[in-house]
């Protein structure tokens, strides 16, 4: 299976990109980095610069039909930038329209709020997104991982890097279906 990892050009929480990426690759799937611009993206360890990663495709070159699932890593700046990019928002929304699995961790549900796809869904996130999710018609829960199947697709969400083990397990479980 091909799995898109959608990120902005900077502000990605590195471990929220690399741990799910490794889990997807180790399970025999093909991860691809999709971003708003070509070149390299800058990851962070919280507020400190970390590694850079090569972009495989831009949102202008990629289509949801090219992939079997979508992963949205967090970091505060990353999803905040994505939600301002119409192409990135449309790309994420396309996975919901096609009934494909989506996994989002930490602040990443901001992109989903912008895409208008959380109404009627139950999800978790970094606690500061609670009001945004609720205002967008979603139900926010404080759980390590939440798998929501009430909608056109399965949505896997987690709160923070400490939840990555459960997040990756739930993501791989959805890819196995």
Question: Which positions are catalytic?
Answer: 106-107
143 CB neighbour count, 10 Å cutoff: 15
Please say whether the beta carbons of 83 and 114 come within 8 A: yes
Assigned token pair, 124: 């978790």
CA–CA gap between residue 155 and residue 164 (Å, rounded): 15
107 CB neighbour count, 10 Å cutoff: 27
Q: Is the dihedral of CA 35, 14, 107, 4 positive or negative?
A: positive
Assigned token pair, 25: 């690759």
């Amino acid at each position: 299976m091909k799995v898109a990892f959608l990120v902005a050009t900077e502000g990605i929480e590195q471990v929220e990109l690399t741990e799910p990426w490794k889990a997807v690759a180790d399970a025999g799937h093909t991860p691809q980095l999709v971003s708003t611009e070509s070149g390299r993206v800058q990851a962070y360890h919280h507020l400190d610069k970390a590694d850079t990663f090569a972009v495989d495709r831009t949102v202008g070159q990629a289509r949801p039909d090219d992939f079997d699932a979508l992963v949205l890593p967090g970091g505060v700046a990353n999803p905040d930038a994505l939600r301002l990019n119409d192409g990135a928002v449309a790309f994420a929304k396309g996975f919901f329209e096609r009934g494909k699995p989506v996994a989002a961790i930490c602040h990443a549900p901001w992109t989903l709020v912008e895409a208008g796809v959380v109404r009627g869904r139950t999800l978790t996130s970094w606690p500061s997104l609670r009001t945004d999710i609720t205002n967008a018609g979603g139900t926010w829960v404080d759980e390590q991982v939440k798998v929501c199947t009430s909608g056109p697709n399965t949505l896997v969400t987690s709160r923070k890097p400490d939840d990555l083990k459960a997040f990756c397990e739930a993501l791989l479980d959805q890819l196995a279906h």
